[in-house]
Structure 1
Amino acid sequence: MMRSMYSGVSGLKTHQTKMDVIGNNIANVNTVGFKSSSVTFSEIMYQNLSGASGPNALTGTGGVNAKQIGLGVTTGSTSVNITGPGASQTTGRAFDIKLNDTNSATSFFIVSNGSGTQFTRAGSFYVDGAGNLCMTSTGYNVMGWQVDPTTGDIRKDTVSALRVMSEKNMTSAPEATVNGRCEGVLDKNSTDVTSEAGQAMNLSFYDALGYSYVAKFAIKETNRDTGEYTVELTDILDSTNKSILDQTKYDSVTGTYDPDYLGDIFGAVKSQTKTYTPRAGWTTVDAANNIFEYNATYYRYDAAAGNLVEVADNGGGNYVQVPGGTTKTLAEAFGVSPYATGITMTNGVVTANVSGANYTLKFNPDDGVFDYIGATGQDNVFLNLKDTLGGNFENIDIDFTGTKWFDNGGSSTIGMDKGDVDGKTGTGKKSGDMIGVFVDTNGKIYGSYDNGNTILLGQIAVAQFANAMGLEKVGDNCYTTTLNSGEFDGIGVDITAGGGTMSTGMLEMSNVDLSSEFTEMITTQRGFQANSRIITVSDTLLEELINLKR
């Protein structure tokens, strides 16, 4: 009777232990990353009343089994359902991360509490005041791999705290523009290409320090019938709209640069014959004798001096030079470049040989398709900034294959933009400020910047164990290794190595199954109740035994 009573006591204790586990499971039904536990019972050792005997051939009797009485029950084990995934909860937060495992491996985030390494499935993280990625519940640092400053790739050696918002990560370095493209339709009926200024095009670009500039170009018609034009560089302006070209090479009256100087920057220097008529404000008085009037003053072209001298009408249209009178240059009166040669004036019109820095832009007159730029078979030309201006500039390769020569209602859409034909390569960038951070499916952390850059900042590593169920729970949704779980090597693994992924904007919830827990709770309650009856009945038997002496 004493044995039965103590067996009942052991049954009460073990069922109470199971109830404790069930209670803990149910209490954590909404705990992020919680893994439910279960209890198995084991019988206690047996007391042998007599041992077993074997068959006796001499007496012809059989063997007798041993007589054993069990001494109760004990807790055999508690196991954690570590591999059972919890449901996904969508949060929308960039640093809420859920681990998606395959059947072959269970992954854990690696965190540090300052004195040791622990592991967790709870992926609710945030960036603290020092810029470190941490657990929101405990502040433990999330561990991972850093970026190799030499290669820019992840260096998968010892894990360390992921500082995703350090001072060096808050900005993105600028890049110089090295590619440009000219695209769009050039309409041969456009009046812009036949004007003095030509069809204007601007190319925005950056130097290596991220400063912005605009190179100004003009397209002018050469031969409409054969689809030939010239592309000229007219100026380069900084962000304050100030020219960065050598102003000693600039003539402010005609608004032109020395063609030899521009030729070093863009295009070959070419000579062409050009005619000039009087500029606005000037009136032709006597074309045959090259007499002009400006602000009520008469001027005559002096071929020997190469300019206009003040004259007065001495009667009957007989103009004589005024001693000590004013003079005007051909640049002021006609806009003739000071770099022009072979200047002549006939019947009030100036003819001169003018050099220009330009490239020939040629289209196929039959189908309007781009033919070449500069020379036959050539698709691109260079803006030689580094070679001529030096400093932080880089030469820019400009591709013209995207240009067309079509009817567009007399209006041209042709223009320039930075970057190669893919729109991405060699665009150049200003210095960028961080505007966001995101984590991809393999745990790599990237920073986004307002200059369009995306920079790798680090990678979240995970730990995997030979026996994940052997990990020890230490509270705060964390685990530590034990002798039966396997050791952590200090390096970790890439989650994709086992076919797993990370999902951002969601968390793994508890894997507690309430239906199972309530069922287990009912059977546990009945088991506890039955064991209590053992003690009650045993007590009744003892009472009857005591009553024998009456």
Structure 2
Amino acid sequence: MLQSFYTAFTGLSADKDWLSVISDNIANVNTVGFKAERAVFEDLLSRSLTTFKNGAPVNREVGGGVFVSATVKDFSQGTFKNTNNPLDLALDGEGFFMVKDKSGVTYYTRNGEFRLDANGDLINMLGMKVQGWMLDDNGNLLGAVSNINIPRDIKPKSTSYVAFKEPSNLDSRAPFIEDNPNTANVDESIFNTANSSTFNYVNAITVYDSLGNPHNLEFYFIHKQDNSGNAFWLVYSAIDGKPVEIPAGSDKFAFLKIQFKPDGTIDEANIKGYGKVSSVTNESQTESADDGKFTLSNSPLVPGSVKVSYNSGNKEIFDDGKGNLIDKSTGDVKGTVDYSNGTIKVFDLAGNGNNNDSINVDYEYYDNTESTNSLDPKKIQTAEVDLKNGAAPIELSLNILPLKQVASDFIFYSEQDGNSKGDLMAVAVSEDGTIKATYTNGKVKDIARLAIATFKDKEMLVRKGSWLYVPNVQTFTPVIMPGGVISKVRSGMLEMSNVDIANEFINLITAQRTYQANARVITTDDQILQETMNIKR
């Protein structure tokens, strides 16, 4: 008789635990990343007796009640809530985010409410560090899983690599540029930056020095034809008007000579330096009239190379690469230079009453020397260009192989690897878990990639509160992989609790009724026991 009291009591205890599980689920209906739990009931056996009648077994079993032997987590995915915060993340699929506390313990969570702290570390709302792989400049994973840190700024980087990219094209229908017949050495009159009739196309990209200063890297393209009727192109480049020595070597060449195959691609065996640059130091010239005009011994000149001294060396003016002679102390234009014929005019010496003023000039000029060495179009090294601004000289590696020559409009498209200083402006996360940072200098950089962990048996995870789980065997190793492999990372969203309120209310009603039923059993047992006690009366 007394056994039935205890049997009903186990039902009350089990229902009480079930109500606790249900109430916990309902209470966490708004908890981000929460996974509902389900109570697992197990029956108790008080006694069991098996006998045999006519050779057949007869069982006599009396149960001892019930208890909640376990709770099972429902790891089905919850619905997504849009937050428009790029660092709010949700996993669309399997897996868990990894976070680490200050003592080095790793926890696992589906709650992706993350933010940046003052040091640029990606943390959750408990201050734990989000785990992932940092990336190098090429987007490759660096080392092992570690804290994710997003730099608040990036340092200036000097441009070292410039590449033409498809669909860059030189129009094969472009007219040939003829040499100037009025110049004694026609091969030396191939080019003049101040005269658009001496080149077909010009375009520029911005490059950077080691201090982050921007500079214009200009490319001039000249369509030529040799005496045998073979077409080729000359490419001249300058940084802020100062010529770039391409390729670097003992002889200074001002141009690249490029020939193309019949299919419009670059003939890799026919890329050479063209147009040797020679230097003249302290050449003296005297004007023939009081007009400040002087004609040098060699022409055309190299833009940006001219330095003029006059008034016995007390005055110096410099070529800006655009045909102007500048007083660097004031920035005033003090003269002009014509690169095509070597004519210089100094304003201070014009109309001053002296018919035979003299100047001394340092300059560079072209001749028609052509290199015999073919160059690798994927890696053409230039000499250093010292811009005299306190930054390290710029030295470039050029990749011109993607350049084409077909009957289509001129297109110039290129990339370079330098940048100025930039401050963090925005952070975004792609579906594969790559964290991208946008800086005020316009650079978008892949910084890190989130690590996603999964377990062969997720039931081995133990709740630690605050959205966190840990494996119940610390030596167990989870499967860790980058985002996007087993699940997509949704930025600007959070995974809500997967608790089904309707189902929980049904469970709540069921738990209430079973509790009442077990209570009625105890009442009935009490009444029967009372009747038993009354037998003695």
User: TM bucket by the smaller chain?
Assistant: 0.5 to 0.7
Say if 2:523 is the partner of 1:525.
no
**What does residue range 190-209 of structure 1 map to in structure 2 within 5 Å?**
197-199=194-196, 203-209=204-210
CA distance in structure 1 between the partners assigned to 2:237 and 2:136 by the alignment: 45
Contact 1:208–1:392 (8 Å) recurs in 2:
yes
Tell me what 2:321 maps to: none
Contact 2:382–2:396 (8 Å) recurs in 1:
yes
TM-superposed CA distance for 1:404, in Å, is: 10
SS in 1 for 2:523: helix
Code of the aligned partner of 1:8: A
Tell me what 1:117 maps to: 106
Tell me what 1:426 maps to: 416
TM-superposed CA distance for 1:488, in Å, is: 4.3
Tell me what 1:534 maps to: 521
Residue correspondences, number: 429
Say if 2:30 is the partner of 1:2.
no
CA distance in structure 1 between the partners assigned to 2:169 and 2:345 by the alignment: 33
**What does residue range 76-475 of structure 1 map to in structure 2 within 5 Å?**
76-82=69-75, 84-101=76-93, 106-115=94-103, 116-136=105-125, 138-147=126-135, 153-157=140-144, 159-165=145-151, 170-171=154-155, 173-176=157-160, 178-179=162-163, 197-199=194-196, 203-209=204-210, 210-214=212-216, 237=240, 259=299, 262=302, 326-328=354-356, 357=366, 386=383, 389=386, 392-395=393-396, 421=412, 423-426=413-416, 428-475=418-465
Give the direction of change, closer, same or farther, for the CA distance of 1:525–1:260 in structure 2 (3 Å limit): same
Report percent identity of matched pairs.
Answer: 24
Mark the structure with the bigger radius of gyration. 1
CA distance in structure 2 between the partners assigned to 1:163 and 1:25 by the alignment: 35
Tell me what 2:12 maps to: 12
TM-superposed CA distance for 1:392, in Å, is: 1.9
TM-superposed CA distance for 1:3, in Å, is: 1.9
Which of the two has greater helix per residue?
1
Code of the aligned partner of 2:434: K
Tell me what 1:318 maps to: none
CA distance in structure 1 between the partners assigned to 2:116 and 2:396 by the alignment: 41
Q: 1:70 aligns with which of 60, 63, 66?
A: 63
Normalized against structure 1, the TM-score is what? Answer: 0.62
Deviation by residue 1:443-492 (Cα, 9 ceiling, x = unmatched): 23232233443333222212221210221111001111114xx8443883
Give the direction of change, closer, same or farther, for the CA distance of 1:140–1:549 in structure 2 (3 Å limit): same
Contact 1:34–1:477 (8 Å) recurs in 2:
yes
SS in 2 for 1:525: helix
Code of the aligned partner of 1:426: Q
Give the direction of change, closer, same or farther, for the CA distance of 1:445–1:278 in structure 2 (3 Å limit): closer
Code of the aligned partner of 1:24: D
Contact 2:294–2:344 (8 Å) recurs in 1:
no
CA distance in structure 2 between the partners assigned to 1:155 and 1:232 by the alignment: 39
CA distance in structure 2 between the partners assigned to 1:78 and 1:387 by the alignment: 71
Contact 1:208–1:394 (8 Å) recurs in 2:
no
Contact 1:472–1:479 (8 Å) recurs in 2:
yes
Give the direction of change, closer, same or farther, for the CA distance of 1:129–1:273 in structure 2 (3 Å limit): closer
Contact 2:97–2:109 (8 Å) recurs in 1:
yes
Give the direction of change, closer, same or farther, for the CA distance of 1:156–1:107 in structure 2 (3 Å limit): farther
Tell me what 1:546 maps to: 533
Deviation by residue 1:177-227 (Cα, 9 ceiling, x = unmatched): 635789799899xxxx9999422957454254133334679999999xx9x
Give the direction of change, closer, same or farther, for the CA distance of 1:431–1:495 in structure 2 (3 Å limit): closer
CA distance in structure 2 between the partners assigned to 1:276 and 1:52 by the alignment: 121
CA distance in structure 2 between the partners assigned to 1:255 and 1:549 by the alignment: 144
Deviation by residue 1:143-199 (Cα, 9 ceiling, x = unmatched): 2223469x8621353x3222223x6x64463424635789799899xxxx9999422
Tell me what 2:324 maps to: none
Deviation by residue 1:221-271 (Cα, 9 ceiling, x = unmatched): 999xx9x999898986489xxxxxx99789995699975872998xxxxxx
Larger mean CA deviation between 487-496 and 255-264 belongs to 255-264
Deviation by residue 1:92-112 (Cα, 9 ceiling, x = unmatched): 1111111122xxxx3111112
CA distance in structure 2 between the partners assigned to 1:521 and 1:262 by the alignment: 90
Contact 1:41–1:74 (8 Å) recurs in 2:
yes
Tell me what 2:52 maps to: 54
Code of the aligned partner of 1:445: I
TM-superposed CA distance for 1:132, in Å, is: 1.4
Q: Where in structure 2 are there 5+ consecutive unaligned residues?
A: 177-189, 243-278, 286-291, 306-337
SS in 2 for 1:47: strand
Contact 2:191–2:340 (8 Å) recurs in 1:
no
Say if 2:492 is the partner of 1:505.
yes
Give the direction of change, closer, same or farther, for the CA distance of 1:206–1:54 in structure 2 (3 Å limit): same
Contact 2:169–2:403 (8 Å) recurs in 1:
yes
CA distance in structure 1 between the partners assigned to 2:194 and 2:216 by the alignment: 17
CA distance in structure 2 between the partners assigned to 1:401 and 1:541 by the alignment: 101
CA distance in structure 2 between the partners assigned to 1:434 and 1:52 by the alignment: 78
CA distance in structure 1 between the partners assigned to 2:204 and 2:468 by the alignment: 57
SS in 1 for 2:481: coil
SS in 2 for 1:528: helix
Contact 1:207–1:394 (8 Å) recurs in 2:
no
Deviation by residue 1:335-355 (Cα, 9 ceiling, x = unmatched): xx9899xxxxxxxxxxxxxx9
CA distance in structure 2 between the partners assigned to 1:275 and 1:520 by the alignment: 97
Tell me what 2:472 maps to: 482
Contact 2:159–2:419 (8 Å) recurs in 1:
yes
TM-superposed CA distance for 1:441, in Å, is: 2.1
CA distance in structure 2 between the partners assigned to 1:521 and 1:97 by the alignment: 33
TM-superposed CA distance for 1:120, in Å, is: 0.8
Tell me what 2:481 maps to: 493
SS in 2 for 1:94: coil
Tell me what 2:254 maps to: none
Give the direction of change, closer, same or farther, for the CA distance of 1:487–1:100 in structure 2 (3 Å limit): farther
Give the direction of change, closer, same or farther, for the CA distance of 1:249–1:494 in structure 2 (3 Å limit): farther
TM-superposed CA distance for 1:35, in Å, is: 0.4
CA RMSD in angstroms, aligned pairs only: 5.3
SS in 2 for 1:98: strand
CA distance in structure 2 between the partners assigned to 1:160 and 1:98 by the alignment: 20
SS in 1 for 2:302: helix
